[in-house]
Structure 1
C-alpha cells in the first residue's frame, strides 16, 4: 500500500528529525512512502494545503477526537483498507491549532494517538513508529512483542 504522510512543517528538534528519518526508512520496507510537508499562515490555509496534498486518497487525520488503536488494531485496520482496494492512504498531522472543522468533516477517518497532547515534532515520530509497528505485525515479524 502507498502511505502518504502529510505534516505541517518538518521536525525541528534533532531527536525528532532522527526519529522521523529512522522510522520512515524502516517503513519503506513495507509500504511505498510519500512525505509532503505543507505550510500555511493560518489554520485554514494549513487545512487547505493538507486537503490539496492528499488529492483523491482517503484522508486520515491525526486528531484528539479520533479513534484510538492498539498496535494490533491499527495493523488490522490498515490490512482491511488494503484488502478493500484502497491503494493509498493519506495521513496528516496538523499544525499547532489542529485541523479545521471543515477538514475533519471531509476526512475519511480521525485517529487519536491518545488523550495526551503531544508536541508536533513528537506526534510525527509517534505516527511513523506506529505505522512501522503495524507493518511488522502484519508481516509477522518480531519487532512487536505484545
Structure 2
C-alpha cells in the first residue's frame, strides 16, 4: 500500500527529526512511502495545500474531533483500506490551528491521537510510529507487545 504523509512544516526539534527519520525509515519496509511538507500563511492556505498534495488519495486527517484507534484497530483500518480502497492513503498533520471545516468534510477519516494536545513535532513522530506499529502487527512481527 502507498502511504502519503503530508505535514504542515517539518520537525524542527532534534528529537523529532531523529524520531521521524527512524520511524519513516522503518515504515518504508512495509509501504511505499511519500512525504510532502506544505506551508501556508493561514489555516485556509494550509488546508488548500494539504488538499492539493493529497490529490485523489483518500485523506485521513489528524484532528482532535476524530476517532481514536488502538494499535490493532489502526492495523485493521489499514488492512481494510488496502483490500477495498485505492491502494493509497494520505495522512495529514495540520498547522497550529488545525484543518478547516471544508477539508474535514471531505476527509475519509478524522483520526484523533487522544485528548491531550501534543506539540506539532511530537504529533508527527507519533503518526509515523503508530503507522509503523500497525504495520508490524499486520505482518505478525514482535515489535508490538501488549
Superposition TM-score tier, normalisation by shorter sequence: over 0.9
1:43 alignment counterpart: 43
2:54 alignment counterpart: 54
Structure 1 residue runs of 5 or longer lacking an equivalent are: none
Does residue 134 of structure 2 align to residue 138 of structure 1? Answer: no
Please state how far the C-alpha of 1:61 moved relative to its aligned partner.
0.2
TM-score (norm 1): 0.99
Stretch deviating more after TM superposition (79-88 or 128-137): 79-88
- Deviating beyond 3 angstroms after TM superposition, the runs of 4 or more aligned structure 1 residues are none
Distance 1:44 1:122 in 2: 23
TM-score (norm 2): 0.99
The CA RMSD measured in Å over matched residues stands at 0.5
Structure 2 residue runs of 5 or longer lacking an equivalent are: none
Does residue 33 of structure 2 align to residue 27 of structure 1? Answer: no
Does residue 96 of structure 2 align to residue 100 of structure 1? Answer: no
- The number of residues matched between the two structures is 146
Please state how far the C-alpha of 1:21 moved relative to its aligned partner.
0.2
Please state how far the C-alpha of 1:86 moved relative to its aligned partner.
2.5
Secondary structure in 1 matching 2:21 = helix
